[in-house]
Amino acid sequence: MFAQRFISSCIGAFGLAAGAFGQTYVQFFVGSNTSPASINGKGEIAGFYGDSRGPRHGFVRDPGGTITTFDVPGSSSTQALSINDEGVVAGFFTDTLGRNHAYVRDPEGNFTTFDVPGSIGTSASSINATGAITGSYLDTNSVSHGYLRQPWGEIVSFDPSRSINTAAGKINAKGEIADGYRDASNVSHGFLRQPWGEIVSFDPPGSTLTGVVGINNAGAITGSYFTPRGILGFVRDPQGNFTTFDPRSSTFPISINDKGAITGWAGANTGFVRSPTGTNTLFEPPFCMAGTTRPASINDLGVITGNCVPPGGQLASDGWVRFP
């Protein structure tokens, strides 16, 4: 069986956000390059850590601060990318031959691994409330495609009609999947796949390149897009209408919750949270001041997790939780 370690989290400085008076932060460190990836409604966080030049390991941090680390049995590297409200984790691992495979880990620590049939590499990037999973896989020509894995194990592959390379990143409780694809002109576009398989491509007006990062259970989608005047954030509502926002030059949303709040980063090193009413608040945890603030995920209570990337390309980084 896999080796499992229990680590008490390092509770760091409590402070006030720059530009966000009254916010509270908890700092934690699992290992070099601590990288929270997903926070669920209970406040459980899944992510990974490890030297970027060597093996990575998965972790789950409970709301009380206890951290459980794990590796998929037989893996040389493990990454945890998504956790649902039941505490089920999805991600991918690398085998000793250097190939990637997807996995699901239940709250008791049991693993199920899988690959899209015929693939040479499979990753899982998002798991929803029912246990459905989406991700990407490489075919024998190293071309990327999206897939949906149902809770009972059935796998369906898909691509938007103009795609030559598809990523599948986020799935909501309805089974809607949102992410992006690249066309034959090497231009990136967003797409929404409905549960019955219909795929709609989209770009915000004026976009020269579109990136999608999140979808909530209402079907609202967020991401960023390139324009001649800079990189802007967007929200696409369930009816297909776009709202643009730009708290600071170069805006990169990363996660949207079911209330419509969005987090991400703007400028070179500043985090932001955008309220459901459209108010943008910039923030930096006090212990990130010398480095870069990188939010990763926001839950429906407005709790955000992310990490601090040190200046100068150093590998060590701290995770954090921001409480509203």
Instruction: Give percent of the chain with pLDDT exceeding 90.
Output: 83
Please indicate, yes or no, if residue 22 is contained in any of the structural domains: yes
pLDDT digits (tens, 9 = 90+) for 201-214: 999 999 999 999 99
Residue 119 vs residues 66, 101, 105, 150: alpha-carbon distances, Å: 36, 9, 21, 18
CB-CB neighbours of 74 under 10 Å: 12
> In terms of Cα–Cα distance, which of 79, 158, 154 is closest to 124?
79
pLDDT digits (tens, 9 = 90+) for 87-137: 999 999 999 999 999 999 999 999 999 999 999 999 999 999 999 999 999
Domain count, the chain: 1
> In terms of Cα–Cα distance, which of 242, 294, 240 is closest to 267?
294
Please tell me the distance from the alpha carbon of residue 201 to that of residue 316, in angstroms, as a whole number.
39
Please tell me the distance from the alpha carbon of residue 76 to that of residue 288, in angstroms, as a whole number.
31
Please tell me the distance from the alpha carbon of residue 179 to that of residue 134, in angstroms, as a whole number.
10
Please indicate, yes or no, if residue 255 is contained in any of the structural domains: no
pLDDT digits (tens, 9 = 90+) for 43-61: 999 999 997 667 999 999 9
CB-CB neighbours of 256 under 10 Å: 28
CB-CB neighbours of 65 under 10 Å: 14
- Provide the domain limits for residue 10: 1-114+286-324
Please indicate, yes or no, if residue 137 is contained in any of the structural domains: no
Residue 99 vs residues 80, 104, 150, 168, 197: alpha-carbon distances, Å: 16, 17, 23, 19, 28
Please indicate, yes or no, if residue 280 is contained in any of the structural domains: no
